[in-house]
Amino acid sequence: MSATLEALQTLLVEELELPGKKPSDLDPDVPVFGEGLGLDSLDALQIAMSIEERFGVRVPEGKEARPIFQSLRTLAAYVDQHKPS
Amino acid sequence: MSLRVVVTGTGLATALGGTARETMRRALLGERAIGRLGLVTDPAFGELVGAEALPDDAVHPAGTWLSRADRLALSAAREALADAGIASGSDVELVVASSVGGMWETQLPLTHAFRDGTRSPGVSREALLCHPVSAPSDRVHELLGPFRSVRTIVSACSSGAVALGIAEGRIVRGEADVVLVGGVDAISLLTLSGFFALRSLDPRGARPFDATRAGLSLGEGAGFVVLETEERARARGARVIVEQAGFAARCEAFHITQPEESGATAEDVMRRALARAGETPRRVGFVSAHGTGTDRNDAMEAGVLARVVPDAHVASQKAQIGHTLAAAGAVETAMTGLALAAGRALPATGVETPMPGVRLADGTEAPTVALSNAFGFGGTDATVVLRTGGGDGRSAPSPPTPLAITHATVVSPHGAWDGPALAAVLSGARGDDVRLPDASRRIDPLSQLTVLLAERVREGVSDDAAVVASSAFGVTDRAAEFSLRVLEKGPRLAPPQEFPSLVPSSPGAYAAIALGLRGVSLSVADLGAGGVAALHAAIEVVRAEHAGEALVVAAECESRLAAELLSPLVSGRAGARGWGGAALRLSPTDGRPHLARVLRAEVVRGEIPTPPEGRFRLVATHETPEVRAFADRHRVQAELLPAELGTHEAGSGIAVAAGAGLVASGGAEIVVVLAPAPDRMGVVWLAR
């Protein structure tokens, strides 16, 4: 499991105050929105802002963001690809 | 008897022009006033695009501080009164919608106070008097009044329309003769940062109903109209501009920022408004859409328009004057009325690639009936119907439904009380223990408290109920924290999930969402009389049949800025502020058990009305010379809220709940509740 993926799990639990959840409870392969982790549009914006703050990576908005937010794993891959070295 | 509510005067101050004439001249030409925002010079915001309505050259001579919002409101209100040919006076009521009040001026002093301490020299006390969302209303009353009553309505981006609806209802029921009603919001760094954080701003300028639209543009402005009956207008020889034929509002109870994708509530509201106006969708020639230019709103609204009024032409004035937030519902409705009166519609502008299925107006249409939509954060959707001819007018209203407080609760640092046990509030005895939710970044403490209070009285409440909430200063500390973060890290890193909480109508909206309540939800502000103002508004909402019953919530959370600065300065109250509040369930009496009937609830600006015949007990939030004089005149003792409950402005709601407990426990046949605040008095009469 990549360090970025673990960092994202922690970020989600902290930023979104997911009750009773440990970072390792978040399934890295389920959809982030709707059925999977059940997050909404406001959560998406909050995560995007936190990712920008912590990793220096700008996540696109709107329709472009959908494939990136497919799962935590795809999100981590995007962050790893775009991290300033 | 056929009654029509008509507009006899209008006033506008927008980015298109400082008068109604200039705004309309340019609007009908299809001009767009969205451009580079010169007001904002912080480079962290980048090139911001929006619609300014005033230059930034305000001079504040000592003792006459006027905020940007004050100036816009005064300009438009003054123009509307002159246009209607009336001066203010004892028969004119004032209703003003706003969401950020004087925040352009007060945000920095509050942020400095939060960061450096409330005694720091960076804190301008004069500026802070402009802070409450009720401040522009008070300024209009002070400088253009006096008015018979003064009320402030907040329901985010639908506030202006809801204010029009409230005014219309009062006239229809014969409770008011003439109302000066409108809305105002000025640009503020708070709203700019907030929409920036939500990534809702289109850097190219809003293009509502364009297939490639990418967000909204913030504007500012004020719009006021004078409403009265056609009969009264003709009797005094006033010119009738247009008829306000109907109004409806409902709450989506879905999400604090996102609109319902299906548009089901917006559709319902449009149909209800038309039904109330005795109109059919086919007669609607023009719709002034909410049309913010965001992907979501316009997609939802286009679908609704296609279903409800497929033959109407559509335009959004937000393409021309930006999104004026609480003012929008009033400004755009006034503009639509003026267009109708001129035999025109307003043209759609800013559209390069039209969305499929949207019939855009080009301004040459000559509608007889038009709709104006306004949809707010937290989901209160509103529609106003305007008409220049035809229709049958309204029948006389039925006698007012008797209403009662059927449940009530108080939560405080001293415990909680429900129902008849509320009688013990006044004795200083502790209440039951109550578990408060843990602090959260996602939902602010005021919203948490409001939801908690509403949940305590929710048993048996139908989902047709409304929520009417009040708070004097909102979540000032959180707003300052948010601002501080923007100052330190720039708007890109402002936390989006914290912005919705900063809109004064959010606590009530959160309660409606949590409880699934679909009746119109709104907030009011009236300093220390806010709880009474909320009860009054709730009575009106139920009497106008926008909801079957209502939950009234008055709440204040712990706030260093309110305790150390705002309450002493603005409310004239010092001492341990505390936190807490009350919720009341207001329902038709219908023969069901109740705590107390509500005979009267209003915030008066002059003489306290003489209570009904017979002995009564007097409950007051605290003692003032006016409370003492009233008590002496009627030879009663004022029973005051105990110090343990704190000195905050939600005491107004707590006092009403305590009064209801007194009646319910058999302690009194009639209770008069007084909630004093600077230059006003909340007055409630409760009876068995």
What does the pLDDT look like over B320-358, one tens digit per residue? 999 999 999 999 999 999 999 999 999 999 999 999 999
Residue A19 at interface with chain B, using a CB cutoff of 8 Å: no
The torsion defined by the Cα of B627, B632, B634 and B635, in degrees rounded to 10, comes to: 130
d(CA B94, CA B183): 11
d(CA B467, CA B331): 25
Using a CB-CB distance cutoff of 8 angstroms, which residues of chain B are in contact with residue A48?
Answer: 199
Sorted by sequence, the CB contacts under 8 Å of residue B466 that are 6+ apart come out as: B251, B512, B517, B519, B520, B521, B522, B538, B541, B542, B546, B547, B549, B550, B551
Instruction: Report the gap between the CA of A74 and the closest CA in chain B (Å).
Output: 22
Q: Which percentage of chain B shows pLDDT scores above 70?
A: 98
Average pLDDT over residues A29-53: 87
Q: Where would I find the H helices in B178-223?
A: 189-197
> Could A40 and B255 be called an inter-chain contact, meaning their C-beta atoms sit closer than 8 Å?
yes
* Whether pLDDT at A27 is above 70: yes
CB distance B327 to B318 below 8 Å = no
Q: With bands split at pLDDT 50, 70 and 90, how would you rate the model's confidence at B62?
A: low
d(CA B554, CA B537): 12
In this predicted model, what pLDDT tens digit does every residue of B631-645 receive, in sequence order? Answer: 999 999 999 999 999
What's the confidence (pLDDT) of residue B456? 98
Average pLDDT over residues B654-678: 97
d(CA B130, CA B34): 27
Q: Considering chain B, what is the average pLDDT of its residues?
A: 94
CB distance B140 to B122 below 8 Å = no
For an interface test with A, the pick among B193, B199, B448, B499 (most A C-beta atoms closer than 10 Å) comes out as B199
> Helices B530-543 and B651-664 sit at what angle, rounded to 10 degrees?
70
Q: Is B323 a catalytic residue?
A: yes
Q: pTM of the prediction?
A: 0.96
Instruction: Report the gap between the CA of A82 and the closest CA in chain B (Å).
Output: 18
Q: Which residue has the higher pLDDT, A22 or B581?
A: B581
CA proximity to B276, closest of B248, B306, B304: B248
- With 0-12 / 13-18 / 19 or more C-beta atoms within 10 angstroms meaning exposed / middle / buried, residue B309 is buried
Q: Is B557 a catalytic residue?
A: no
Letter for the amino acid at B289?
Answer: A
What's the confidence (pLDDT) of residue B60? 66
* Whether pLDDT at A39 is above 80: yes
What's the confidence (pLDDT) of residue B14? 98
d(CA A38, CA A40): 7
d(CA B372, CA B375): 10
The 8 Å CB, 24+ separation contacts for A74-77 are: A75/A8, A75/A32, A75/A51, A76/A2, A76/A4, A76/A5, A76/A8, A76/A28
Instruction: Report the gap between the CA of A77 and the closest CA in chain B (Å).
Output: 22
> Is the peptide bond prior to B146 cis by the omega test (within 30 degrees of 0)?
yes
Average pLDDT over residues B113-127: 86
CB distance B454 to B511 below 8 Å = yes
What ipTM was predicted for this assembly?
0.91
What's the confidence (pLDDT) of residue B259? 86
d(CA B554, CA B467): 11
Containing H/E element for B550?
A: strand B550-556
Measured in degrees and rounded to the nearest 5, phi and psi for residue B348 equal -75, 135
Residue A42 at interface with chain B, using a CB cutoff of 8 Å: yes
> Could A46 and B495 be called an inter-chain contact, meaning their C-beta atoms sit closer than 8 Å?
yes
Residue of B nearest to A53 (CA): B493
In this predicted model, what pLDDT tens digit does every residue of B453-502 receive, in sequence order? Answer: 999 999 999 999 999 999 999 989 999 999 999 999 999 999 999 999 89
* Whether pLDDT at A1 is above 70: no
Average pLDDT over residues B592-599: 95
Tokens of B680: 């006003």
* Whether pLDDT at A38 is above 90: no
Residue B489 at interface with chain A, using a CB cutoff of 8 Å: yes
> Could A42 and B496 be called an inter-chain contact, meaning their C-beta atoms sit closer than 8 Å?
yes
Average pLDDT over residues B369-374: 98
Q: With bands split at pLDDT 50, 70 and 90, how would you rate the model's confidence at B448?
A: very high
Q: With bands split at pLDDT 50, 70 and 90, how would you rate the model's confidence at B409?
A: very high
Residue of B nearest to A58 (CA): B492
What's the confidence (pLDDT) of residue A62? 74
CB distance A48 to A42 below 8 Å = no
Residue A33 at interface with chain B, using a CB cutoff of 8 Å: no
Residue of A nearest to B294 (CA): A62
For an interface test with B, the pick among A42, A47, A57 (most B C-beta atoms closer than 10 Å) comes out as A42
CB distance B334 to B227 below 8 Å = no
Catalytic residue among B141, B323, B594, B622: B323
